[in-house]
Structure 1
Amino acid sequence: MKTIALISTTGGAGRTTLTSALAVLLARRGRPVAAADLDPQNMLGAHLGLDSFAQVGLGQAMAGRVEPWRDHTWRNADGVLFAPHGETTLAERTEYESRLAAKPRWLTDALAQIDFPPRGVVLIDTARFPSQQAAQAIAAADLVLCATPLEPAACATLARRFARLHQSAARVKVVVNRLNPARDMQRDALALLRAAVGNALELVHRVHFDAAVPESLARGGWIFDDVPHSQASHDLHGLANWLDAWLDGDLADSAEPAP
């Protein structure tokens, strides 16, 4: 079983949308998939099919108030096993951040309790980097995907924090999300991002902007089902294919998907 952490250095990067979409696409490729939500926004469960926000989940488990955490997992129609974050108070979040700092392998040990076959994969949606949640996700991950929109502020933030991120993670790939080639500003932002990331860590993939993405989610669907021939659908399938091959060990570390 391998673990993939999806992180971002800014809010609004589309990290939860990517996590849930990739979980479903990998499950549809016949791979056992679990997803864990370490973000207090508690949105992953809603993306994966819950009709209301889960009240109890990993947030309470991290605070030491729920044991075992596996009693608060769900499975969606595509077979994805997922653990929502749950609705937490400020006091609970303060408590679990302190516990996570004292137990840097808490998530690694928790994921080891999942009885998954070798082909299985766990996707982790976490609070923005740097944070205790992101540190736990990175420590548990075999691969880190850092999602960023091509907005100047987001790219500048990633550039400022990239060295620390690189030191923290074994493998890091950047996913450019909501790419809009019609915006000249994004070309400048992409140049800034490439200068910060460097040749050693090329961009793994780009997912184009599509207004149908939030519309599909609002209807409880997926863009790759509703608009299967759109560029964003093609991009998500391409990223899922790349991950599927990487999980099977068919790609070298430096390999990149076709544009």
Structure 2
Amino acid sequence: MKTIALISTVGGAGRTTLAAMLATLLARRARAVVALDFDPENMLGAYLGLDTLAPNGIGAALAGQAGAWHDHTWRNDEGVLFVPHGKLTLAQAAACNARLAANPRWLARAIGEIGLGENGVVLVDTPRYPSQHADQAARSADLVLCVCPPEPAACATLVAHLPALREACADVRIVVNRLNPAREMQRDLLAMLRHAAGGGALAHRIHVEAAMGEAFARGVWIVDAAPQSQASHDLHGLAQFVDAWLPAQASGERT
């Protein structure tokens, strides 16, 4: 079983959308996939089919409440097993941060309780880095995908935090999200990220697609609503990259 953490250093980078989309595309490739929401905003379930925010989940266990978080998981129509974060009060959120600071391997142990086969993958959605949640996710991961829009603040903060992320995880890749190559500034920022990444750590580029928001509002994926779009091609390419990075599946293996 492999763990992939999706991390961003700014809000609004599209990290949660990408986590849900990647989980779905890997499940369609017959991978055993767990999508774990480790972000207190508790939004990942909305992208995977929930009509309301999940009331319970792994956050309650982290806050020290009794009961197993395993009882609150569910599998969506695509076959993705979803672990929600759940709603927390401000006091509970503070308790979570304190527990993570005191137990650096808490998330790694929780992921270890998920019974996937050796060819399965756990995708962890996180709050903005740096944070206790995102740092634990990075240290628990075999691969970190840094989701970064080609905007000055996003690129600058990511470059500043790359050394710490590389210390946390040996394999850190950058996914440039919502790229518009017609804009000269974005081309310059892409070159800056490529240089900061050492030339070889840009996992993928996903182009901006106006229909993305409309597709989500209609409850469909952009790869289904506009399969010929550049963004759909890019998303399939990222899924192919991750699928190739994961251990090869045995013949006939299914989720």
Deviations 1:119-167 (A, max 9, x none): 1110000111111101111121111100000001110111111111111
1:46 counterpart = 2:82:
no
Quote the residue 2:226 is aligned against: 227
SS at match of 1:122: strand
Deviations 1:29-80 (A, max 9, x none): 0011001011111110000000111111122121111421101111110010
4+ runs deviating over 6 angstroms: none
Q: Which amino acid aligns with 1:2?
A: K
Q: Which amino acid aligns with 1:93?
A: A
Q: Distance in 1 between matches of 2:68 and 2:79?
A: 21
Identical residues among aligned pairs (%)? 61
Q: State the 1:88 CA deviation.
A: 1.5
Q: Distance in 2 between matches of 1:10 and 1:67?
A: 33
Quote the residue 2:6 is aligned against: 6
In the TM superposition, what are the counterparts of 1:167-186 in structure 2 within 5 Å?
Answer: 167-186=167-186
Q: Which runs of 5+ in 1 are unaligned?
A: 251-259
In the TM superposition, what are the counterparts of 1:99-118 in structure 2 within 5 Å?
Answer: 99-118=99-118
Q: Is the 8 A contact 1:156 1:192 kept in 2?
A: no
In the TM superposition, what are the counterparts of 1:185-200 in structure 2 within 5 Å?
Answer: 185-199=185-199
Q: Distance in 1 between matches of 2:80 and 2:114?
A: 13
Quote the residue 2:252 is aligned against: none
Quote the residue 1:145 is aligned against: 145
SS at match of 1:54: coil
Q: Which amino acid aligns with 1:221?
A: V
Q: If the length of structure 2 is used for normalisation, what is the TM-score?
A: 0.94
Q: Is the 8 A contact 1:97 1:132 kept in 2?
A: yes
Quote the residue 1:87 is aligned against: 87
Q: Is the 8 A contact 1:38 1:126 kept in 2?
A: yes
Q: Distance in 1 between matches of 2:116 and 2:186?
A: 41
* Two-structure CA RMSD over aligned residues (Å): 1.3
Quote the residue 1:208 is aligned against: 207
Q: Distance in 1 between matches of 2:89 and 2:35?
A: 22
Q: Distance in 1 between matches of 2:76 and 2:219?
A: 12
The alignment covers a number of residue pairs equal to: 249
Q: State the 1:18 CA deviation.
A: 0.7
SS at match of 2:78: coil
Q: Is the 8 A contact 2:172 2:201 kept in 1?
A: no
Quote the residue 2:98 is aligned against: 98
Q: Distance in 2 between matches of 1:67 and 1:232?
A: 41
Q: State the 1:194 CA deviation.
A: 2.2
Q: Distance in 2 between matches of 1:105 and 1:161?
A: 21
Q: Which amino acid aligns with 2:244?
A: A
Q: State the 1:196 CA deviation.
A: 2.1
Q: Which amino acid aligns with 2:40?
A: P
Q: Distance in 2 between matches of 1:62 and 1:221?
A: 32
Q: If the length of structure 1 is used for normalisation, what is the TM-score?
A: 0.93
Q: Which amino acid aligns with 2:229?
A: S
